[in-house]
Amino acid sequence: MFLTNHMGPLGRVSAVPLVSRIHEGLVFSNRDQRSLLDKLVELLLPVAGWMESAVVLVADAYYASRKIAVPLLDQGHHLVTRVRSNAVACRPAPRPRRARRGRPRLYGTKLKLSALWNDRDRFHSVRSPLQEEQRVRIHYRCEDLLWRPVGRLVRFVWIDHPLRGRLLLMTTDLQLDPLQVLLLYSYRFRIEVSFKQALHTIGTYAYRFWMMAMQPRRRGAGDQYLHRTSDDYRRLVRRKLAAYHRSIQLGCIAQGLLQHLALNRRKQVWRHFRSWMRTMNPAAPPSEAVVAEALRGTLPEFLLGASDGHKLKKFLLDHADPKRRVALRLAG
């Protein structure tokens, strides 16, 4: 699932879903050697082409790989990711005093990045850049080193948090401030929250499709290799996979609309939210669940007050089942 971070009118960042695809479970050709990293790049680059400026991919340590970094750099984009504790890098090789034959040496001293935690004199103490941690002071260190998977300088940032522990980050953008790297990586939490809202509030990934012609599979059987099946069976599976993608994409669109109302119609949403929560804060944008509850509560009023020629009213009445919708029964 690919999400972008959008700054709202109150300075809040929200994770907006753009596109979602299924990348595991089916193998249509035994010649397909793509990994999940390759498939992510194939999903990301077309979406990044819609943007007017370069994008920054924020990902976990699994994506700190050449297969991710090199295609992004070739298109002018960048990567911010966590680095594994056993990662290594090199200092640039010193220039020789006299010119020698052959290619000049590129890599210098090899460093275990985890060993640099011990040099406490190189760390700086600053206030945390996170909005919810204004009173917390962190220690950080920043250094540009050569990373062999991409063969160029990248920026490593060591973060020592008094409450959350140690964190080693990396970015391919040498212009990014170290604290900005930490701030960007913190947005992953917003992405995880947005994914939970998609699952539990909207039901984007909750619906289970089935196909009559599907061959029985045991739990944990792994990928299904479709190149061993008939052309007609592969056609039916592709058709069902396309239905999956359409359903999930509709869920992404619905979630984006809820986030639009939360960010740009905050006061109206809280005014029509006819319930109560212990953590209510009308000064902050509501969650997708609050917006959805407000829309459900005002649906009978909308159906009663809107004219018969209203397009949205006609669409709802034509496609909704009155026996299963409480709002329609109340309006009736």
- Evaluate if residue 94 carries a pLDDT over 50: yes
Q: Do 60 and 260 contact (CB within 8 A), yes or no? A: no
Query: Collapsing DSSP states into helix, strand and coil, what is residue 110?
Result: strand
pLDDT band at 2 (very low <50, low <70, confident <90, very high): very low
Q: Where are the domains of the chain?
A: 2-202, 224-331
Q: Using 50, 70 and 90 to split pLDDT, how confident is the model at 271?
A: very high
Q: Determine if the pTM surpasses 0.85.
A: no
Closest CA to 115 of 82, 92, 88, 80: 88
Q: How confident is the model over 128-174, as pLDDT tens digits? A: 998 888 889 999 999 999 999 999 999 999 999 998 899 999 999 99
Instruction: State the DSSP H helix or E strand holding residue 299, giving kind and residue range, or none if neither.
Output: helix 288-305
pLDDT of residue 325: 65
pLDDT tens-place string over residues 214-259: 878 788 787 788 888 888 999 999 999 999 999 999 999 999 999 9
The model's confidence at residue 24, banded by pLDDT at 50, 70 and 90, is: confident
Q: How far apart are CA 141 and CA 177, in angstroms?
A: 11
pLDDT of residue 261: 93
Mean of pLDDT values over 188-199: 89
Q: Helical H runs in 150-273?
A: 178-197, 231-264, 266-271
Please check the confidence at residue 8 and state whether its pLDDT lies above 60: no
Summarised one tens digit per residue, pLDDT across range 318-329 is 877 766 666 666
